[in-house]
Amino acid sequence: DAKTTQPPSMDCAEGRAANLPCNHSTISGNEYVYWYRQIHSQGPQYIIHGLKNNETNEMASLIITEDRKSSTLILPHATLRDTAVYYCIVRVQPGGSNYKLTFGKGTLLTVNP
């Protein structure tokens, strides 16, 4: 799996957009970018994933650069409940033996009132 680099921590004001960056400069053409978040001591929650096009769902937007070497997760209107550790993961899909998710240390996003 390609390695990812994320800042260890970020702050965001409540109601503002939270933009979480992720570097994955060694990503391969068949690797997807996944984002999960983990609120303290709970199981990780799936947020969104994408290959090369920008993606949006009810939780967030994922912007992937044209060269696919980095991406940004955007929470459009952060709330206090969005305070969590956010993990960016690259994963081969479909097929192959890449059945696991390889987590790094992620970014601790703190949303302040």
Partner 1 sequence: ETGVTQSPTHLIKTRGQQVTLRCSSQSGHNTVSWYQQALGQGPQFIFQYYREEENGRGNFPPRFSGLQFPNYSSELNVNALELDDSALYLCASSREPSTDTQYFGPGTRLTVL
Could you say which residues in the range 20-79 bind partner 1, by CB under 8 A? 34, 36, 41-46, 49
Q: Quick one: 19 or 98, whose CB is closer to partner 1?
A: 98
> Does residue 9 touch partner 1 according to CB under 8 A?
no
- Token readout for 5 is 């680099």
Q: Nearest Cα to 29, choosing from 66, 68, 73?
A: 68
- Which residue in the block uniquely carries the two structure tokens 């937007």? 61
> Does residue 108 touch partner 1 according to CB under 8 A?
no
Contacts of 49 (CB under 8 A, 6+ apart): 32, 33, 34, 35, 55, 62
Closest separation between CB of residue 47 and partner 1, Å? 10
Closest separation between CB of residue 14 and partner 1, Å? 26
Residue type at position 69: K
Q: Quick one: 72 or 103, whose CB is closer to partner 1?
A: 103
> Does residue 7 touch partner 1 according to CB under 8 A?
no
